[in-house]
Structure formats: C-alpha cells, structure tokens
C-alpha cells in the first residue's frame, strides 16, 4: 500500500499509516493521505480470512466537506452495482469496486484538471 501512495508523490504531500495488521491472507489498513490542494483522504481497507473485503475511501476538502466517499457497505440495495457505491454532495451514485490505486488515480485526474 505504501508503494501505491508513494507512486502518487506528485499529488501527495504527506501520509500517515494509522494501522496496519496482517493475519495470513487477511489485512487491515487504515491511513490518512494529504494532498497538494489541502484535501485529505481517509482510507479504511479490510480483507478478511474468508476473502471478503470491506472498504471506505473518504475524500474531504480543506474545510472537511465531502468531495466523494467510495465504499461497499450494503446500505443501497437498489443500485445496480450493489454494494459498491459513491457518496457525493448530490447523493449516492453507483460505483465500480474501488481500490486505493483507482481512488488515487481518480484524485490525481481531478487535481490535474483543476490546475489546467
């Protein structure tokens, strides 16, 4: 995971690994990533021994207001990509399954577009 974060050093100003535990093929990864525009990403990614995965990638602006939060909590069964979804200031939308790599690539694209 650290390698994924460091591969985006052009947009990451700092990061803190708050918790990392590994149990065989299972893991728990909790981190905060700070970006060049002052926004932050709270990362929670868990893989359980049975292979199930639970995640939340919560991106906030400088005022700690929601930009996007991708997660797979089973709260929106009406979405066709259930349980995968993203929260935006406009509400809940469908999402593909996300990884830290995909989220950082999305944020990088958004920051690049904002500075262009």
Three-class SS state of 4: helix
> How many Å apart are CA 64 and CA 49, to the nearest integer?
34
pLDDT in the model for residue 68: 98
The model carries a pTM of 0.93
Q: What is the mean pLDDT of each run of 10 residues along the chain (116 residues)?
A: 92 97 94 98 96 97 97 92 96 96 97 82
* Under 8 Å between Cβ of 49 and 25: yes
pLDDT of residue 95: 95
List b or e across 44-65, with b for residues whose CB sees 16 or more CB atoms inside 10 angstroms: bbebeeeeeeebbbbbbeeeee
| pLDDT recorded at residue 14 | 97
Are 98 and 55 a contacting pair, CB within 8 Å?
Answer: yes
Tell me, what's the pLDDT at 115?
75
């Amino acid at each position: 995971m650290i390698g994924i974060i460091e591969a985006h050093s052009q947009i990451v100003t700092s990061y803190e690994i708050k918790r990392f535990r590994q149990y065989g093929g299972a893991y728990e990864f909790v981190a905060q990533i700070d970006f060049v525009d002052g926004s932050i990403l709270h990362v929670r990614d868990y893989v359980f021994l049975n292979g199930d995965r639970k995640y939340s990638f919560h991106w906030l602006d400088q005022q700690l207001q929601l930009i996007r939060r991708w997660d797979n909590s089973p709260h929106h069964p009406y979405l066709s990509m259930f349980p995968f979804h993203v929260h935006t200031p406009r509400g809940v939308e469908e999402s593909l399954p996300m990884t830290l790599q995909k989220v950082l690539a999305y944020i990088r694209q958004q920051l690049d577009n904002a500075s262009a």
